[in-house]
Amino acid sequence: MSLVKPTHAGYFFGQSIITLAARLRAGSVTSVELTQAALDSIERLNPVLNAFVHVDAAVALAQARKADALFAQGQDLGPLQGMPIAVKDNIDTFDYITTYGSAHFDRFKPSHDALCVQRVREAGAVIIGKTLTHEFAYGPTGDRSLQGAARNPWDARCITGGSSAGSAAAVASGMVPLALGTDTGGSIRIPAALCGTVGFKPSFASVPLDGVFPLASSLDHVGPIANHVEDARLLFEVLAGRACQPAATPRALRVGWITCASFGPVDAELHQQVYQAAQQLFGEALQETDALQKIAAGMKDTLQTLQRAEAFAVHAERMRDAPHKFDQEVRERLEVSSEVRGWQYIRAQASQAQYKAAMARLFEDYDLLVSPTVPITATQVNARQVRVGEQDIDVRAAVLSHTSAWNLTGLPSISLPVGHVRGMPVGLQVIGAAGADDHLLQVMSQLFVPITGGG
Amino acid sequence: MSLVKPTHAGYFFGQSIITLAARLRAGSVTSVELTQAALDSIERLNPVLNAFVHVDAAVALAQARKADALFAQGQDLGPLQGMPIAVKDNIDTFDYITTYGSAHFDRFKPSHDALCVQRVREAGAVIIGKTLTHEFAYGPTGDRSLQGAARNPWDARCITGGSSAGSAAAVASGMVPLALGTDTGGSIRIPAALCGTVGFKPSFASVPLDGVFPLASSLDHVGPIANHVEDARLLFEVLAGRACQPAATPRALRVGWITCASFGPVDAELHQQVYQAAQQLFGEALQETDALQKIAAGMKDTLQTLQRAEAFAVHAERMRDAPHKFDQEVRERLEVSSEVRGWQYIRAQASQAQYKAAMARLFEDYDLLVSPTVPITATQVNARQVRVGEQDIDVRAAVLSHTSAWNLTGLPSISLPVGHVRGMPVGLQVIGAAGADDHLLQVMSQLFVPITGGG
């Protein structure tokens, strides 16, 4: 596989924040210069990609000057200091309008930062703007929001995936080296895979959700999008408010490749590409497992029941008082969601606990599970059917099919860019045991060298 | 008020287990004799009262002989040793059929004791039989079950209240000195009040529910029914698996009388009787509070939403496969219960947390809250409307009206028999702060001398 660049690439394409942090400390670049490079890249690329929905150069440059002033005083807050970062627009920021992708909040200015934003700020990062979210994060395509559709850097006719649409497009295109996303059924990993970057959904509740607009409270996660696993790991440390624990003495990994049919149909060429990447990464350690085949459908139903009931609980008054302010597709999903019965929700909670227990047992046999992140490449904006093999399948169901089980069970999982199929990026998903975020990130940081990365 | 006895009274009427325990230890009575006295009382009274649904003299006497043998060996397991006790039929017992009051379980024999039964057994009590529960404990009248209606010892045409119908009737009539009940909206306190005995619902989760058939898992409680507060306290210690902590240095109590209109209409004569009893007990410490007036309706709605969804989650398959096996009234309640939406359940969970917080604030100003336990006296079996003042009101809603808030908020509350109105018992409810079970029981044990008690 050759090094390729997306049609639309900015200053930070493929850049590692480790390199950038070293350059900042060596004085060969300033935070103001990096911030200006991000602003220039956004100015050039955003009219096509629609990744950012609010950018304020003055606000960003003021933060950059503050970071540079700290460097000048010899103060070092760690690897994020002076680094431009994008924040998904369903995460509150006191200094940027925060719309949640919805007409209901078209002029909303939060009074406080979300706790995760506060932590990033305290680490010295420069919040350069807010990125497009699928309306209320309720959709995996990233093409329905107050601000329209985000566009894929590798082919602007195509979706980014979502709901962290703009954050993935912003990093994948090199507008910024880092971004925050949220993930309730795959919303970090899906656009990371479809845009060709790294997206990490941590263990449930490892990053606080205060100030993040809820989609479904038992499934919501905040996490990093970056060019490199190590960058994602450094941002995760800041988000989680703790340093990663050193990995235990390494021993032979046991890696389970999830039998592809388990979660639904997979594009054949994509399957081959991702499987080869997994073989290159894990070699002999990789073994097929069909342990999920029997429970995959139940997991999907359970997640859907939880997500629907919890999502409608967030929006009931808006659905009653101003339904016209919702995007039609989101409104229709919410109408269906209102129908879930209380007793079904209670059963789903019980099932969720059982699936978590089943995964704990499965991870006695494996250290990691792997699968394609998304079984198809990015489809055209607004397309809702796609042909996979001989089947016409629903785009939304397909893109969610391999990721949502790890929201239900709360396990850490990361999507890695492992090349291209028919010119579009594809992702390998690697899943760790509950709470084993540090191990997953450290192992994959050592093993994985981005195939498409610059650096 | 004069000492009166119910129409139907057995050996243990008004008896204190402290007196009985002393007699057992003095050798003036044996456990076999007490057990036989209970069996004789049951044989005489149960054909009228229908309090017990399963009694096995051989099983009971074997336990009694074991208790006597321990006494003979000088082994003392505490105040329950050798004491006859009744267990509500929604609590599993390995040696008695356990029907949950339902045709679905008409021949069910559990493989294990419920944990609370196990604890009572380990304390040396003699389990004399199982008492009638309203079908699946889903009703506060005690007149609908596989075994028909339980009957009030003061007037056998009237209900006992429920759902711990048989346990309250068995203690109030003197068939046994102690019984176990369960309480999801008032099911211990209501029949205790209507039958004229002491019923205590502990703090939520202070007594384990393992082996108790669920009605609504976020509202279910197990607790004691007894003739005296001190007896209830001793049984509570066994049920909770811990000794009560000595009360802190006593200071002037602050007692809030809940403005009667807060929870709905109250019979005028009953109000006067219960209020006078509260004044006698607490004197100057008693002050009216209208703090609950604004939130009472919301608390009731919240409890109903939680209870309905959770109850249907227990019975969904039975309602699908064998609806005819339910009592018609219970089936109709379950049909309504199936309609609660998931988002409403989620909202109710959030409201429950808010009401708990509101109660924590209220109990900064009060040590105890008091009210009538039930705003009416026992109605006729199967009656569903009752006249209170100028209003016709629903019997089930009325009997639940003053108790269910303390299931929602999980606070300890006790019903005390405080005399009679038109010949039927009435109860005073005393509510303590969250987790202050020991304080509530110790204070009321000191202050309260049963008005109707023998002993």
B336-365 pLDDT per residue, tens: 999 999 999 999 999 999 999 999 999 999
Residues A34-91 have pLDDT tens digits of 999 999 999 999 999 999 999 999 999 999 999 999 999 999 999 999 999 999 999 9
Pick the residue of B138, B340, B346 with the most A CBs within 10 A to test the interface with A by mutation: B346
Percentage of chain B beyond pLDDT 70 is 98
H or E stretch covering B121:
helix B115-122
Q: The domain B17-240 is classified under which CATH number: 1.10.3470.10, 3.40.50.620, 3.90.1300.10, 2.120.10.30? A: 3.90.1300.10
Question: Can you read off the two tokens belonging to residue A200?
Answer: 């990490």
**Chain A residues 307-336 with CB within 8 Å of chain B:** 308-310, 312-313, 316
- Largest Cα separation within chain A, whole Å, is 63
pLDDT, position A249: 66
- Answer yes or no: do B345 and A342 touch at CB < 8 A: yes
Residues of chain B with Cβ-Cβ distance to A336 below 8 Å are: none
Rounded to an integer, the average pLDDT of B207-212 is 98
**Best CA proximity match to A291, nearest among A188, A363, A197:** A363
B163 preceded by a cis bond (ω within 30 of 0)? yes
Pick the residue of A346, A349, A352 with the most B CBs within 10 A to test the interface with B by mutation: A346
Rounded to an integer, the average pLDDT of B85-110 is 97
CA distance to partner chain A, nearest, from residue B315 (Å): 9
- Answer yes or no: do A316 and B347 touch at CB < 8 A: yes
Looking at the complex, does the CB of residue A347 fall below 8 Å from at least one CB of chain B? yes
Helix or strand or coil: residue B267?
A: coil
- Answer yes or no: do A346 and B309 touch at CB < 8 A: yes
> Would you say residue B266 has pLDDT above 70?
yes
pLDDT, position A298: 97
> Would you say residue A250 has pLDDT above 70?
no
Looking at the complex, does the CB of residue B341 fall below 8 Å from at least one CB of chain A? yes
Rounded to an integer, the average pLDDT of B370-386 is 97
Rounded to an integer, the average pLDDT of A106-127 is 98
A104-A107-A112 Cα angle (round to 5) = 100
Exactly one of A163, A173, A203, A206 is catalytic; which is it? Answer: A163
Looking at the complex, does the CB of residue B339 fall below 8 Å from at least one CB of chain A? yes
> Would you say residue B249 has pLDDT above 70?
no
Pick the residue of A308, A312, A341, A352 with the most B CBs within 10 A to test the interface with B by mutation: A341
pLDDT, position B177: 98
Rounded to an integer, the average pLDDT of B83-102 is 98
CA distance to partner chain A, nearest, from residue B341 (Å): 4
Q: What distance in Å separates the CA atoms of residue A66 and residue B78, rounded to the nearest whole number?
A: 72
pLDDT, position A455: 33
> Would you say residue A251 has pLDDT above 90?
no
Torsion over CA of B448, B433, B186 and B202, rounded to 10 degrees?
Answer: -80
Q: Identify the bridge partners of residue A432 per DSSP, sorted by sequence position.
A: A368
Helix ranges (DSSP H) in A111-262: 115-122, 165-172, 189-195, 229-240
Helix A296-321 vs helix B342-362: angle between axes, to the nearest 10 degrees? Answer: 70
Rounded to an integer, the average pLDDT of A304-319 is 98
A88 in active site: yes
Burial class (CB in 10 A: 0-12, 13-18, 19+), B280: middle
**Best CA proximity match to A372, nearest among A276, A234, A240:** A276
H or E stretch covering B86:
strand B84-88
Q: What is B255-435's CATH number?
A: 3.90.1300.10
H or E stretch covering A55:
strand A52-55
- Answer yes or no: do A341 and B312 touch at CB < 8 A: yes
Looking at the complex, does the CB of residue B346 fall below 8 Å from at least one CB of chain A? yes
Q: Which of B312, B343, B346 is opposite residue A343, by nearest beta carbon?
A: B312
pLDDT, position A3: 53
What amino acid occupies position B303? L
Helix ranges (DSSP H) in A93-164: 115-122
Rounded to an integer, the average pLDDT of B127-147 is 97
pLDDT band at residue A451 under the 50/70/90 scheme: low
Strands B368-372 and B255-258: parallel
- Answer yes or no: do B346 and A345 touch at CB < 8 A: yes
Concatenated DSSP letters for B277-339?
Answer: HHHHHHGGGEEEE-TTTTTHHHHHHHHHHHHHHHHHHHHHHHHHH-GGGS-HHHHHHHHHHTT
Q: What distance in Å separates the CA atoms of residue A225 and residue A180, rounded to the nearest whole number?
A: 6
Residues B151-208 have pLDDT tens digits of 999 999 999 999 999 999 999 999 999 999 999 999 999 999 999 999 999 999 999 9
Percentage of chain A beyond pLDDT 70 is 98
Helix, strand, coil percentages in chain A from 3-state DSSP, rounded to 5: 40, 15, 40
Q: Which of B340, B341, B347 is opposite residue A338, by nearest beta carbon?
A: B341
Residue A424 has φ and ψ, to the nearest 5°, of -115, 145
For the ranges A2-11, A61-70, B363-372, which has the lowest average pLDDT? A2-11
Residues of chain A with Cβ-Cβ distance to B307 below 8 Å are: none
- How far does Cα B48 stand from its chain's mean position? 21
Q: What average pLDDT does the structure give for chain A?
A: 95
- Answer yes or no: do A342 and B347 touch at CB < 8 A: no
Looking at the complex, does the CB of residue B340 fall below 8 Å from at least one CB of chain A? yes
Locate the chain B residue with the closest alpha carbon to A311.
B343
What's the Rg (C-alpha) of chain A? Answer: 20
Which DSSP state fits B152? B
Whether the ipTM is more than 0.90: the answer is yes
- Distance from the first to the final alpha carbon of chain A: 16
- Distance from the first to the final alpha carbon of chain B: 17
Residues B295-343 have pLDDT tens digits of 999 999 999 999 999 999 999 999 999 999 999 999 999 999 999 999 9
Q: What average pLDDT does the structure give for chain B?
A: 95
Locate the chain A residue with the closest alpha carbon to B306.
A342
Q: Which residue has the higher pLDDT, A200 or A261?
A: A200
The answer to whether the beta carbons of residues A329 and A144 sit under 8 Å apart is: yes
Strands ordered across the beta sheet of B84-88: B52-55, B126-131, B84-88, B178-183, B221-226, B198-201, B413-421, B424-432, B368-372, B255-258, B286-289
**Best CA proximity match to B334, nearest among B313, B356, B360, B353:** B313
Residues A390-447 have pLDDT tens digits of 889 999 999 999 999 999 999 999 999 999 999 999 999 999 999 999 999 999 999 9
Strands A385-388 and A391-394: antiparallel
pLDDT, position B454: 36
Q: Identify the bridge partners of residue B288 per DSSP, sorted by sequence position.
A: B257
What amino acid occupies position B348? A
CA distance to partner chain A, nearest, from residue B375 (Å): 31
Rounded to an integer, the average pLDDT of A128-150 is 97
Rounded to an integer, the average pLDDT of B390-409 is 96
Rounded to an integer, the average pLDDT of B235-251 is 88
CATH class of A1-455: alpha beta
A294 in active site: no
For the ranges A123-127, A289-293, B59-63, which has the lowest average pLDDT? A289-293
Kindly provide the residue ranges of all beta strands, DSSP E only, lying in A79-184, ordered along the sequence.
Answer: 84-88, 126-131, 178-183
| In the block, residue with structure tokens 């908020």 | B409
Pick the residue of A307, A319, A333, A343 with the most B CBs within 10 A to test the interface with B by mutation: A343
Rounded to an integer, the average pLDDT of A249-265 is 86
- Answer yes or no: do B342 and A345 touch at CB < 8 A: yes
> Would you say residue A296 has pLDDT above 80?
yes
Residues A364-379 have pLDDT tens digits of 999 999 999 999 999 9
> Would you say residue A5 has pLDDT above 90?
no
H or E stretch covering A258:
strand A255-258
Concatenated DSSP letters for B20-33?
Answer: HHHHHHHTSS-HHH
Q: How many CB pairs under 8 A join A and B?
A: 64
Q: What distance in Å separates the CA atoms of residue B296 and residue B292, rounded to the nearest whole number?
A: 6
B445 in active site: no
Strands B424-432 and B368-372: antiparallel
Looking at the complex, does the CB of residue A249 fall below 8 Å from at least one CB of chain B? no
- Answer yes or no: do B345 and A305 touch at CB < 8 A: no
**Best CA proximity match to A299, nearest among A353, A256, A253, A259:** A353
- Answer yes or no: do A312 and B345 touch at CB < 8 A: no
- Answer yes or no: do B341 and A342 touch at CB < 8 A: yes
CATH 3.90.1300.10 region(s) of chain B?
17-240, 255-435
What amino acid occupies position B291? A
